[in-house]
Amino acid sequence: MQHRANETSTQRLSWVKQDIEQRLLFKGGRHTRVNNVLSALLGVLITILVYSCLYPFPHSSITVMFTQRGPIPYFIVFFSAWSLSILFFKWRKLRYQQSSLKIIVVPPEHDFILSSATVDQVMDEIQSAVDDPKQFVLFNRIVVALSNLRNLGRVTDVDDILRSQADTDVSSMDTSYSLLSGFVWAIPVLGFIGTVIGLSDAIGGFGSVLRSAEDMDKVKAALQDVTAGLATAFETTLEALVAALVIQLLITFIRKSEEEFLDQCSEYCTQYIVNKLRIMPYETDSVR
Model pLDDT, residue 69? 77
Average the pLDDT over 243-271 and give the result.
96
Say what the pTM is.
0.84
Q: At what angle do helices 119-129 and 137-152 cross, to 10 degrees?
A: 150
How many other C-beta atoms lie within 10 A of the C-beta of residue 113? Answer: 12
Spell out the residues 6+ positions from residue 128 whose beta carbon is closer than 8 angstroms to its own: 3, 6, 7, 9, 10
Amino acid identity, position 25: L
Tell me which of 6-10, 101-105, 209-213 is least confident: 6-10
pLDDT over 70, % of the chain: 80
Residues in contact with 66: Cβ distance below 8 Å, sequence separation at least 6, in sequence order: 50, 51, 54, 73, 74, 77, 239
Average pLDDT, the chain: 84
Confidence of residue 278 (pLDDT cuts 50, 70, 90): confident
- Averaged pLDDT, 1-14: 51
Summarize the confidence of residues 194-208 as an average pLDDT.
68
Query: Residue 272: is its pLDDT beyond 80?
Result: yes
pLDDT bucket at 109, cuts 50 / 70 / 90: confident
pLDDT bucket at 232, cuts 50 / 70 / 90: low
Top pLDDT among 181 and 156 is at 181
Instruction: Determine the Cα–Cα distance for residues 12 and 129; give it in Å rounded to an integer.
Output: 9
Q: What is the pLDDT of residue 50?
A: 95
- Give the three-class secondary structure for 111: coil
- Rounded Cα–Cα distance for residues 69 and 66 (Å): 6
Domain span including residue 169: 2-287
Report which of 163, 166, 155, 161 is spatially closest to residue 275, judged by C-alpha positions. 155
Please spell the DSSP secondary structure of 243-280, one letter per residue: HHHHHHHHHHHHHHHHHHHHHHHHHHHHHHTGGGB---
pLDDT at 277 over 50: yes
Dist CA 239 CA 129 (whole Å): 47
139: pLDDT strictly greater than 90: yes
Residue with the larger pLDDT of the pair 240 and 216? 240
Rounded to whole angstroms, the Cα distance separating 133 from 143 reads: 8
pLDDT of 10 reads 41
pLDDT at 2 (0 to 100): 46
Residue 50 to residues 24, 45, 67, 167, Cα–Cα distance (Å)? 22, 9, 11, 40
Contact 73, 67 (CB under 8 A): yes
For the chain, what is the domain count? Answer: 1
At 149, is the pLDDT very low, low, confident or very high (cuts 50, 70, 90)?
A: confident
Amino acid (1-letter code) at residue 272: Y
Confidence check: pLDDT of 213 > 60: no
